[in-house]
């Protein structure tokens, strides 16, 4: 049946056609929300640890039920800053100066100014980009050299700010701070940088919200609260931080939903990392300990963000990724939790800081309505480095050779293919000890965890595990399989010298990468200098 349009209707159709085409084009680019928990163990989420997990996480569990749950997903490190670098850039952190530890207090930016991040890439494709939460990747703090000692003073316990302190703090914190998120691809930033480190205030874009004028109350440096003394706003408290981040995220979604351009929201939570600043209504909710309460409060903020997507009408056109920067920290009362039947690492060995699986195998969930099958599970090896290549595939663009050198697209897996997208991966401990994956095999270039974990067979310098039948890393096969150890060691060397782990032109590392295991001569020299 043919319908003849009136001239007026034809004109209206002609005028509306470009608008319809615009919206059709926009719909091909999903909004992207990355929810990044801090110090959340593989077993701290109920759907990952149904038998030995005692913490209720209904909102994260619901997200998994609506999307895909990866069981072999990893951060690049057992600690914070290096994992964040790799997630944002798609490049292993150990190719930079940060080959051990974290970005130090008042540290310089780790991400090079010309380095493409997921935010840079998204902006190139018309996205509005926002970061709300913990940055911990360094800034160009405008601290005067001649008064740096006064500025950085860390009194033990209670400290009284002098006029000299206040003068240099005032000088620094009234200036814009360079090198932060808004110089690395994000249109907007709001957060506390590192909530347990100074400055104890919020930062918006490149300025502090208020001028710190006192040392933090010494009472807030006890019992897994703040960890380093320093400049703070008068009467600064820790409990409002997480709710404030949730408020900003919800507002950003509500403001962005009606706009034509898609958005990318990177929400790196400050929790459940210390400070364990649990708000009153959540204290005691878990029946376990304060950390478990904080996991529940974090889950509730996840729920607020997901609810905001629904209320704003964009849930069906938004890709949501939930993961964590590393495993659970052992110092938050892990022993007590395990006595009560909750195992933060689930079936895995080790915790935060370790090269063992509990240090870096983390919850990794993707919900993308219409693209990812609800309630699906994927057992293939994936890395947080893979986000930038995945987004590039979604944007139908190619990454240049010097972008995302260690990133592979997860799109085939998200669409239901169950073949490996990556055969290798490198994950490091806090001291820089690398663990190398090749399919089911895992090689650790040290006798122990390389972190805070105790144990390890000190009679052999390295470790080799078959994770297909030994996910708990109980049987070191290195002595029995020297040829496989040699193969894995050669693989690691190639990944280092190529400057990338994906196909493409070789790239330079930022500086010489430290080799492991550390030669005996190097160890002796290091000990002599300590």
Residue 1 confidence (pLDDT): 37
Is residue 516 predicted with pLDDT exceeding 90? yes
Domain ranges of the chain: 33-422, 427-529
Residues 275-295 have pLDDT tens digits of 999 999 999 999 999 999 999
Using CA atoms, how far apart are residues 275 and 134, in angstroms rounded to an integer? 13
Using CA atoms, how far apart are residues 239 and 234, in angstroms rounded to an integer? 15
SS3 of 60-106: the string is HHHHHHCCEEECCEECCECCHHHHHHHHHHCCCHHHCCCCCCCCCCC
User: For residue 78, which phi and psi values (nearest 5 degrees)?
Assistant: -85, 5
Is residue 19 predicted with pLDDT exceeding 50? no
Residues 185-216 have pLDDT tens digits of 999 999 999 999 999 999 999 999 999 999 99
How much of the chain is helix, strand and coil, in % rounded to 5? Answer: 35, 15, 50
- Single pTM value for the model: 0.93
Strand order in the sheet with 364-367: 207-208, 203-204, 188-193, 128-134, 263-268, 31-37, 318-324, 364-367, 68-70, 376-378
Residue 521 confidence (pLDDT): 55
Residue 522 confidence (pLDDT): 57
pLDDT higher at 29 or 456: 29
Q: What is the DSSP letter of 302?
A: H
* Fold of domain 427-529: Arylsulfatase, C-terminal domain (3.30.1120)
DSSP strand E in 97-225: where? 128-134, 188-193, 203-204, 207-208, 214-215
Is residue 4 predicted with pLDDT exceeding 90? no
Give the mean pLDDT of 508-513: 98
Using CA atoms, how far apart are residues 77 and 92, in angstroms rounded to an integer? 9
Q: What is the DSSP letter of 329?
A: -
User: For residue 301, which phi and psi values (nearest 5 degrees)?
Assistant: -70, -35
**Which candidate, 363, 369, 333, places its Cα nearest to that of 348?**
363
Residues 284-341 have pLDDT tens digits of 999 999 999 999 999 999 999 999 999 999 999 999 999 999 999 999 999 999 999 9
Residues 94-138 have pLDDT tens digits of 999 999 999 999 999 999 999 999 999 999 999 999 999 999 999
**How far from 235 is each of 14, 195, 213, 463, 475, CA to CA, in Å?**
61, 15, 10, 50, 52
Is residue 231 predicted with pLDDT exceeding 80? yes
Burial 131-165 (b: 16+ CB within 10 A, else e): bbbbbbbbbebebeeeeeeebebeeeeebebeeeb
Residues 62-89 have pLDDT tens digits of 999 999 999 999 999 999 999 999 999 9
Is residue 526 predicted with pLDDT exceeding 80? no
Q: Are strands 73-74 and 263-268 parallel, antiparallel or unpaired?
A: unpaired
> How many C-beta atoms lie closer than 10 Å to residue 9's C-beta?
11
Q: Which CATH superfamily is domain 33-422 in?
A: Alkaline Phosphatase, subunit A (3.40.720.10)
Half-sphere exposure of 113 (CA within 13 A, CB side): 5
Residue 278 confidence (pLDDT): 98
Confidence of residue 28 (pLDDT cuts 50, 70, 90): confident
Using CA atoms, how far apart are residues 420 and 418, in angstroms rounded to an integer? 7
């Amino acid at each position: 049946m043919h319908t003849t349009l009136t001239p007026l209707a034809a004109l209206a159709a002609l005028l509306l056609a470009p608008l319809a085409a615009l919206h059709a084009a926009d719909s091909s680019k999903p909004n992207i929300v990355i929810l990044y928990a801090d110090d959340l163990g593989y077993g701290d989420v109920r759907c990952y640890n149904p038998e030995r997990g005692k913490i209720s996480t209904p909102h994260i569990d619901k997200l998994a039920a609506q999307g895909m749950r990866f069981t072999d997903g990893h951060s690049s490190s057992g600690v914070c800053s290096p994992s964040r670098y790799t997630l944002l850039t798609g490049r292993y952190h150990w190719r930079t100066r940060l080959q051990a530890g974290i970005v130090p207090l008042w540290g310089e930016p780790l991400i090079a100014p010309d380095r493409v991040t997921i935010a840079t890439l998204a902006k190139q494709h018309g996205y509005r980009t926002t970061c709300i939460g913990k940055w911990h990747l360094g800034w160009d703090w405008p601290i005067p050299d001649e008064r740096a000692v006064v500025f950085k003073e860390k009194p033990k316990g209670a400290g009284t700010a002098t006029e000299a302190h206040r003068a240099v703090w005032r000088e620094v914190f009234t200036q814009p701070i360079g090198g932060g998120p808004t110089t690395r691809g994000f249109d907007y930033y709001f957060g506390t940088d590192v909530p347990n480190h100074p400055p104890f205030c919020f930062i918006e874009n490149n300025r502090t919200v208020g001028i710190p004028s006192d040392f933090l109350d010494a009472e807030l440096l006890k019992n897994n609260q703040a960890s380093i003394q320093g400049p703070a706003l008068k009467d600064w408290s820790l409990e409002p931080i997480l709710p404030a981040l949730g408020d900003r995220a919800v507002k950003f979604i509500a403001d962005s939903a009606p706009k034509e351009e898609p958005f990318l929201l990177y929400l790196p939570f400050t929790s459940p990392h210390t400070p364990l600043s649990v708000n009153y209504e959540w204290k005691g909710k878990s029946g376990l300990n304060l950390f478990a309460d904080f996991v529940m409060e974090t889950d509730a903020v996840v729920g607020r963000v997901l609810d905001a997507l629904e209320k704003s009408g964009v849930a069906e056109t938004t890709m949501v990724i939930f993961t964590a920067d590393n495993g659970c920290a052992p110092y938050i009362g892990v022993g007590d939790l395990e006595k009560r039947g909750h195992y933060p690492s689930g079936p895995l060995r080790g915790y935060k800081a370790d090269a063992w699986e509990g240090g870096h195998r983390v919850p990794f969930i993707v919900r993308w309505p219409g693209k990812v099958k609800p309630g699906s599970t994927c057992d293939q090896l994936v890395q947080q480095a893979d986000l930038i290549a995945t987004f590039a595939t979604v944007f139908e663009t190619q990454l240049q050779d010097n972008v995302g050198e260690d990133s592979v697209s997860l799109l085939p897996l998200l669409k239901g293919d169950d073949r490996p997208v990556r055969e290798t991966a490198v994950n490091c401990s806090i001291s820089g000890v690398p663990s190398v994956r090749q399919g089911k095999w895992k090689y650790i270039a040290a006798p122990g965890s390389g972190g805070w974990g105790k144990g390890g067979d000190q009679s052999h310098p390295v470790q080799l595990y078959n994770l297909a039948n030994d996910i708990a890393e109980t049987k070191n096969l290195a002595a029995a399989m020297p040829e496989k150890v040699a193969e894995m060691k050669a693989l690691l060397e190639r990944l280092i010298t190529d400057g990338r782990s994906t196909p493409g032109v070789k790239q330079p590392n930022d500086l010489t990468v430290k080799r492991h295991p550390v030669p005996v001569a190097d160890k002796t020299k290091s000990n002599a200098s300590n």
